[in-house]
């Protein structure tokens, strides 16, 4: 990706998982990487890896649920590198509970604030800089942003909101030179499920999914994201099942509901 040489990319949720891998890969292609997450220790490690890969990187401790923190993140990126070419909205948390088992309803607000509003805040503050460079907005959503999934109602709702927001902004930005890419992965081998919140709103600290089942590795996931960014695609739906599901939802929505229920029953302990 020679097109990334000298470009400045801001990545939220960069201390682990998809965000971490994407940061290192882009740094290896000569990008200036701005790493954002709450874990400053984790960010320091990723910053070192990015620099070892040959890129320039800064770490900015950021809670995307705080709009002021998002403003400061963008400000730091511009101070360090003079502008922003790409913003990757990747920060996110998930849940594991049926609605009728939830004990703390605030988890719905918390997940929406991190997954959806965090992307809104960052995108709002970065947009003038993206327009100046005809850059790109990237949203790391999920297949659950296309189809509802049991035990993930708050997560799915936040990803549906994310999908609608970026689809709308894409239309608003027509003619500005700024492109919008929405990425919808399926199950990826990251730590997000181990950090899922349970019915009491507290982290479960373990994945309830059987992680021995087939899961896309994070390297394959990031390679697909990088390719889509390079082509400035509008959307990336991962897995054959996810692509088929989009068609089936139009012609046989009840079947998709049953498939989603069965998939979760098979994968959850």
- Residue of 108, 116, 121, 155 marked active site: 155
Residue in the structure block whose two tokens are 């850059």 = 135
Residue 103, helix vs strand vs coil: coil
- CA 66, CA 38: separation in Å to the nearest integer? 11
> Residue 121 catalytic?
no
β-sheet bridge partners, residue 8: 32
Sheet with 56-61, edge to edge strand ranges? 56-61, 32-37, 8-12, 86-89, 136-140, 179-184, 235-237
Q: Are 213 and 112 in contact (CB under 8 A)?
A: no
Q: Are 74 and 86 in contact (CB under 8 A)?
A: no
For 61-81, give one letter per residue: b (16+ CB within 10 A) or e.
bbbbbbbebbebbbebbbeeb
Residue in the structure block whose two tokens are 């849940």 = 95
- CA 249, CA 86: separation in Å to the nearest integer? 32
238 Cβ contact list (under 8 Å, min separation 6): 143, 183, 184, 185, 186, 216, 221, 224
- CA 33, CA 31: separation in Å to the nearest integer? 6
- Active-site positions? 155
């Amino acid at each position: 990706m020679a097109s990334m040489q000298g470009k400045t990319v801001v990545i939220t949720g960069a201390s682990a998982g998809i965000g971490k891998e994407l940061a290192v890969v882009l740094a290896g292609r000569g990008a200036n990487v701005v790493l954002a997450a709450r874990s400053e220790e984790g960010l320091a490690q990723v910053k070192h890896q990015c620099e070892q890969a040959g890129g320039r990187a800064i770490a900015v401790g950021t809670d995307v649920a705080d709009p002021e923190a998002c403003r400061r993140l963008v400000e730091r990126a511009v101070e360090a590198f003079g502008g922003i070419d790409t913003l990757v909205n990747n920060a996110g948390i998930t849940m594991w509970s049926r609605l009728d088992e939830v004990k703390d309803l605030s988890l719905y607000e918390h997940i929406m604030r991190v997954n959806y509003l965090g992307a809104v805040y960052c995108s709002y503050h970065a947009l003038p800089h993206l327009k100046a460079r005809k850059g790109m907005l990237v949203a790391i959503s999920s297949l659950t942003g296309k189809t509802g999934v049991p035990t993930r109602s708050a997560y799915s709702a936040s990803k549906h909101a994310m999908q609608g927001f970026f689809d709308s902004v894409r239309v608003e930005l027509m003619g500005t030179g700024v492109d919008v890419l929405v990425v919808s992965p399926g199950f990826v081998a990251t730590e997000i499920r181990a950090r899922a919140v349970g019915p009491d709103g507290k982290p479960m600290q373990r994945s309830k999914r059987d992680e021995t089942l087939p899961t896309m590795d994070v390297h394959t996931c990031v390679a697909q994201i990088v390719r889509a960014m390079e082509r400035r695609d509008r959307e990336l739906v991962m897995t054959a099942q996810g692509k088929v599901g989009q068609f089936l939802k139009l012609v046989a929505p009840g079947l998709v509901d049953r498939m989603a229920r069965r998939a979760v029953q098979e994968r959850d302990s």
